[in-house]
Structure 1
């Protein structure tokens, strides 16, 4: 499904909301998501769009995140930054993006997505493994080798272990995805 607004217009909307360093990350994620998608037989343009939008709300003030994506559980209430995926989805919809798989990918890049959403899996893997982060090269390698589901499962396992190690409570959606894999 095509967006009602051009990618160039969306890029400018995102650019207006984020710091330059965040935009660089966003562009690396979008490019990697496209490459991962294409190497796994998916539509690269849809993955690129999801990547372009995924952190659109990441630099917003806490009050704006809460307005765009009111907390749905205790984890979100205690950690408003975790709302940035849902807030980015709200922005994308307001900007005319209608593709449900892309919108779910944008929202789910924080918590995880159902394995039935391969665009979401490509975005999730791209976000955690883009070269600018300096981590998870093995996950990126799996995804680029056409082993997206395996890469995604490893990325979710790593995130759960990291959060547990930090003593951060797991979001119910992250737990659900973790158990589904």
Structure 2
């Protein structure tokens, strides 16, 4: 793992930035991401690290989010909270994390990741399906059964369908991932 900071010191940095309830969610996501990764032949420690850092910026004030991750499109301008993945990536980089797949997973947990990023798929699923949320148990079970790609495809489709039903604009990256998965074998 390319990382100049220890996991314990990174956990303390994250803990200092988020509410206790968010930190509890982060720890559940990290543990589940590790388990999903391991059940799918991936590096569990790298998935744990991505999970530990994924919501580091989630409770930051809007001005800080905008400073760390300036909006790149209208969806981000209208919904600054959607920037928290990219902002968390910037924090992780500043803390010495250099593993590109982990950094992409952190950034992409909001929008989706390229299906070649197994750590990112494990994190995306862990975030939407961690037991504390009380939803998406079937997606979690698919991923834990070694069917990561299938679980990820379902997770992204569920997110797109949910946002469409709510009338919420869908991030261009999410749509691109959705289209790619819809046309994958």
1 CA distance for matches of 2:79 and 2:117? 25
1 CA distance for matches of 2:125 and 2:19? 22
1 CA distance for matches of 2:108 and 2:55? 11
2 CA distance for matches of 1:6 and 1:165? 42
What does the per-residue CA deviation read over 1:30-78, in whole Å, with 9 as the maximum and x for residues that have no partner? 0000000000000000000000000000000000000000000000000
2 CA distance for matches of 1:170 and 1:103? 22
TM-score (norm 1): 0.99
**Aligned counterparts, 1:37-116, within 5 A:** 37-116=37-116
The structural deviation recorded for 1:155 is 0.2
Mark the runs of 5 or more structure 2 residues left unpaired by the alignment: none
2 CA distance for matches of 1:68 and 1:121? 24
Secondary structure of 1:16's counterpart equals helix
Pairing 1:129–2:129 present: yes
Equivalence for 1:159 = 159
Provide the aligned length of Structure 1 versus Structure 2. Answer: 181
Equivalence for 2:14 = 14
The structural deviation recorded for 1:13 is 0.2
Mark the runs of 5 or more structure 1 residues left unpaired by the alignment: none
2 CA distance for matches of 1:2 and 1:177? 26
Pairing 1:172–2:163 present: no
1 CA distance for matches of 2:154 and 2:109? 15
RMSD of aligned residue pairs (Cα, Å): 0.4
2 CA distance for matches of 1:177 and 1:109? 12
Equivalence for 1:148 = 148
1 CA distance for matches of 2:64 and 2:162? 27
1 CA distance for matches of 2:163 and 2:32? 24
2 CA distance for matches of 1:12 and 1:98? 19
TM-score (norm 2): 0.97
2 CA distance for matches of 1:32 and 1:174? 22
The structural deviation recorded for 1:2 is 2.3
